[in-house]
Each structure stands twice: as structure tokens, then as C-alpha cells.
Structure 1
Amino acid sequence: MKKTFTSLAALSSLALLSSPALAHTGHETASFSAGLTHPVTGFDHLIMLVAFGILVACVQTSTVRKTGLVISALVSMLVGLAAGQWFGGFNGVELAIGSSLFVVSGAIWQAFHASKDMLRLALTLCVGLVFFHGYAHGVEAQGAISAFAAGMMLGATALMVLGLQFGRSLSSPWLSVGVASVSALVIM
């Protein structure tokens, strides 16, 4: 147990010492096509959205509740987009985005091993962290972003549905290890 804690502390320290990814600079935010393609070309979004779809697929609940989780994540992203445009940037956005990738990974594991209350907390945290993915785009958005937002919502929905299909076919807690590994590679 002590060795695991020491390894986790060392890994966390390295993550905090690394420079921010700054993955959200210099791309167009005015067109529908830019919004549609960004979730696929922005690796942090790609991982988070597909992993969130996997998480939703692994949760033992009704289709209506699964749909509600997807809609909640989309609303969180949209509110983040508006908040980012309104309030502007702050230093913690990139850290929150990077952290979200590992939180969703842990939540996938929790879908198989946790109590209902712990799983509910993990799902709520994941939906909340999607907010920061939208927030980063709102900060850099220029002018009216409605077309970009519409494209981004459509692209995000498609990626979550892809994750849902993937999670249904390979329903396993070990998917969380794959998500964490890919996340670590992207952040490095």
C-alpha cells in the first residue's frame, strides 16, 4: 500500500511540474465546420468524450438515464463555452482539462466496483469537468460563436455515441486503464 501511495505521489508531482498543454490556442471558433471537427482533432476532447461514452455504457441504468447523462455533459460543455466567453481565462483551465481525463478513467473503474453513491459522485464530477472543455473554447472565442457551438455539440454527441458503442461491446473495468494510458501519452 505504501509503495502504491509513493508511486502515485511521485506521478502526481511530475504532472504538477509539467507545463500546461495549452491545447486550446489558435484555432478558428467562428464556423460550424470548425466546431464539428474540433472534438476530433483536439485530443483532450476526443479522449474525454469517447471515455465519457464508455462510462455511460458501463453504468447499470436505464436508457433514459444514460441519455440524460449524455445530455447533461453536453449542457455542461455549452455552459462552459458561454462562461469562458463571458468571464475570460484563468490559469487552472488546462489543469482541470488534464485532470478530467484521469477522473473519467477512474469513474469507468468505479462503474464496476463502487457503491451507487460513489458512482453517482464520479458521474457528477465527470459531467462537471466537461464544463472546462467548453470553457477553454469560450475564452478564445471571437465574436458570435453560435455556429461553432452547434458544430461542437454535434461532434461531441457523435464521439459520446461512439464511446457508448465501444463500451457496450467491451464492457470491462480494464477500459479505465486504457483511457488513463492514452491520456498520459497525450499529456506528455
Structure 2
Amino acid sequence: MKTSKIFSPKISLPAMAALVLPVSAYAHPGHDHASFFSGLVHPVTGVDHLIMLLAFGALAFFVAKKTVTQLSLLVAALIAMVTGTIAGLSIGAISGIEGAIAASLLVVSAALWQVLTASKPVKSMAVALCVALIFCHGYAHGVEASGNVSMFAAAMAITASALMLLGNRLAAFASSRWVSVGVASASLVYLLVA
């Protein structure tokens, strides 16, 4: 006698994300978005940005073996973040950005898990998706920006570059899929507490 499956333990990534995403992942209320100093410290004090930037730096290391290619990926992410900041400042708030910021942490974790064994097209798609999600991080800051936005954005770009380079160099010492487990664990803790 065959029994039909009433309950399937398979849960889609969007469904899991909906269960753990905070109501608002916008770029950290209470953080100043108006000065050079606040731009320097924000990527470090904004835990979601810290995780994403370090993880993307590691992803660039795993995807590209040539240093020049790794650096070009980091520059692409930096351009996406700054462009996002400008777009957020120009366009204003839109729905979905909060979810995209939170989802970026899960996406970069999954990309790190797959990247060591994935095909070249899959690696390229993972990097492109992460760069697009870094745009969303910048967008949220553009929406909240006030005061000297250009100084804030320039300083944020400096710290973001340093964090991505740090993640890139740390990946050289931990060339393993388990990096993704650390990133995913940190991300889930942040998303559940935020």
C-alpha cells in the first residue's frame, strides 16, 4: 500500500528567508548618515554590511584565482554600492529594499557554499547576484542620507574597500566551504536579533 506525502520537509529559500527576516532591515536607524566619520564607521557598526562586505571579499577570492580579477570584482561591488547610494538619494524609498538587504546575507552564504565546486557560469551568476544585492545596501543609505552625502559616501567606500580586501585575504587562509557556514551562522544570528 502506497502512502502519499502529506508533509514535505523541503522548504524553499524564499520561505525560509520570510521566517527569519526582520520587519525592517533598512540601514540602521540611529546611525548618522551625514559626515565623513560616520561613513568610515558605518560599514563596521552595521553588522549586515560588515558580514556582506567580508563575505563578498572571500567570494571574490574563491571565484577568481588571479589577483587582478579579484580586485576587479571588488571594484564592481564598490561601484554598485556607491551607485546604489546615489539612486537611493535620487529616487527615495521603495518597497523590497529591506528584504533584499537581509536576503543578501543568505545569498552570499549560499554562494560561498557552492563556489568551490560550481561551474563557471554558476560562479558568474552568484557574483552578479551578490553585486546587485550590494547595490541594495547602498540604496538604503542613499534613502536615509542627510547632510554632506558625498563625504559620507566617500568614507563608506573607503571602509567598504578595506573590509572586502580583508575578507579576500582571510579567505586565503580558510579556503574551505566551511567559510560559508560561518557566514550563514553570523547572518542568521544577526537576522534573528535585528
Give yes or no for TM over 0.5: yes
Gaps of 5+ in 2: 1-6
Question: For residue 142 of structure 2, what is the amino acid of its counterpart?
Answer: G
Superposition deviation, residue 144 in structure 1: 3.6
1:70-114 CA-to-partner distances (Å, cap 9, x unmatched) read 000000000000000000012211100000011111111222111
Higher helix share goes to which structure? 1
1:16-48 CA-to-partner distances (Å, cap 9, x unmatched) read 6x5223443232222111100000000000000
Aligned partner of 1:14 in structure 2 is 19
Given the superposition, is the C-alpha separation of residues 78 and 166 from structure 1 closer, same or farther in structure 2, using an over 3 Å criterion?
same
Q: Does 1:61 align with 2:101?
A: no
Question: For residue 10 of structure 2, what is the amino acid of its counterpart?
Answer: F
Q: Given that residues 25 and 101 in structure 2 are in contact (C-alpha distance below 8 angstroms), is that contact kept between their aligned partners in structure 1?
A: no
Aligned partner of 1:107 in structure 2 is 111
Given the superposition, is the C-alpha separation of residues 145 and 19 from structure 1 closer, same or farther in structure 2, using an over 3 Å criterion?
same
Aligned partner of 2:133 in structure 1 is 129
The two structures have a TM-score, normalised by structure 1, of: 0.92
Superposition deviation, residue 7 in structure 1: 8.0
Other structure's SS at 2:115 match: helix
Question: For residue 166 of structure 1, what is the amino acid of its counterpart?
Answer: L
| Correspondent of 1:165 among 158, 169, 183 | 169
Aligned partner of 1:142 in structure 2 is 146
Give the paired residue count.
186
Other structure's SS at 1:5 match: coil
Q: Given that residues 17 and 103 in structure 2 are in contact (C-alpha distance below 8 angstroms), is that contact kept between their aligned partners in structure 1?
A: no
Following the alignment from structure 1 to structure 2, what is the Cα–Cα distance between the partners of residues 13 and 25?
21
**The structure with more radius of gyration:** 2
Q: Given that residues 101 and 180 in structure 1 are in contact (C-alpha distance below 8 angstroms), is that contact kept between their aligned partners in structure 2?
A: yes
Percent sequence identity is 50
Gaps of 5+ in 1: none
Aligned partner of 1:47 in structure 2 is 51
Aligned partner of 1:5 in structure 2 is 10
